[in-house]
Amino acid sequence: MSLFWTVFIAGLTLLNIAACWWLISWTRRGGTEPAQPGETTGHVWDGDLTEYNNPLPAWWLYLFYLTILFGVLYLLLYPGLGAFEGLLDWDQEKRYARELEAAELRYAPLYQAYAAQPIPELAQDAQAMQTGGRLFAQHCATCHGSDAHGGPGFPNLTDQAWLHGSEPAAIRTTIAQGRQGVMPPFGGQLDAEQLAGVANYVYSLNGREAPGGDELSAVGQQVFSTYCFACHGADGSGNTAIGAPNLTDDAWLYGGDLETITTTIADGRTGVMPAHAERLGEARVHLLAAYVYSLGGTPAEPAATADATPPGAMAPPTPGVAAEPEPAS
């Protein structure tokens, strides 16, 4: 902060405090002449409701003085006067860093114990999944929803459709390193019939009847085999190595209606899953991967035991990791 703004803010603040002190002192004196007993201001409402000109009680005035003194003391001890840092050298970033450090010392042994377990085994630990649910609510629910069902452009983590695979290692890599998805636009390469045809063909890949009929779908199949098979495969079953969606199931990242499919093909799509390794650390990423795995990684294993709290009910208060609820131990 520049010297000008420091002086401006500090001066304006102190001027307002001095003005409050003067106003209260003036009120205590009653202006130029003290009010006489029974004196009124001359204001009358409803015929007989009269406003008297009585001075404020002394105890009330002293409370005002105390609040002013408290304000001055606070501004001396803590930041508030421009760039002045206060006599206690208090800083919100320093305090946040201390809270993070204290939380890390408290929770690190437990997270390290979780990190030593394989993800499929950890996913069956109800207490670990409660902690994992808190991590999910804090770091993932904004995009994927508190129930992990996702939304347009954000994957549903509770079904069996996985862009990069449902293996524990793949889920862990996705959370730790992030992902970038790109569906290139083909609107400039295809004419109207080709665009409508390939949209109809993709629409029918999961067994639905194409609205445009077999003839239009045949045109679309030819287009698909020319432009789309390299990523999605000849049968449309996708490719987890590059994150190309399976078009033969009923899981649609942006929507499976004909209009949305046409828009996706014509305009393309881009998506980013941010990396969390640096922010959370390897141990928390491991636990979070186990939680996501428990949601939909394997249909043969339950998501969590009956006493595990749903993710939507476990959102902790801010700020950050320092405010994480205490893990179950």
User: Does residue 126 lie within any of the structural domains?
Assistant: yes
Question: Is residue 134 situated within a structural domain?
Answer: yes
Q: For 107-118, give the DSSP string.
A: HHHHHHHHHTS-
Amino acid at 1: M
CA 306 to chain centre: 27
pLDDT at 30: 54
pTM: 0.66
In terms of domains, do 194 and 121 share one?
Answer: no
Question: Could you give the C-alpha distances from 119 to 47, 124, 168, 294, 301, in angstroms and in order?
Answer: 81, 9, 6, 9, 12
Whether residues 73 and 16 share a domain: the answer is yes
Q: Is 195 in the same domain as 161? A: no
Which one has a higher pLDDT value, 205 or 323? 205
* pLDDT tens profile 279-297: 999 999 999 999 999 997 5
Mean pLDDT across 55-60: 79
Number of domains in the chain: 3
Q: Mark whether 293 and 269 lie in a shared domain.
A: no
pLDDT in the model for residue 26: 81
Q: Taking a C-beta distance cutoff of 8 angstroms, is the pair 111, 324 a contact?
A: no
CA dist 16 and 22 (Å) reads 10
**C-alpha pair distances (Å), 47 with each of 38, 43, 44, 51, 66:** 18, 10, 6, 12, 39
**227 in a domain, yes or no?**
yes
Structural domain of residue 231, as residue ranges?
Answer: 181-273
Q: How much is the pLDDT for 20?
A: 92
Residues in Cβ contact with 22 at an 8 Å cutoff, skipping those fewer than 6 apart: none
Is 152 inside any structural domain?
yes
pLDDT digits 0-9 by tens, 116-144 = 999 999 999 999 999 999 999 999 999 99
Q: Is residue 310 part of a domain?
A: yes
Report yes or no on 68 lying in a domain.
yes
**243 contacts 162 by C-beta, under 8 angstroms:** no
Domain-located, residue 328: no
The CATH number given to whatever domain includes residue 258 is: 1.10.760.10
131/148 Cα distance (integer angstroms): 16
Q: Are residues 190 and 243 in the same domain?
A: yes
Average the pLDDT over 311-317 and give the result.
35
Domain match, 245 and 166 both:
no
Output 34 or 203, whichever has higher pLDDT: 203
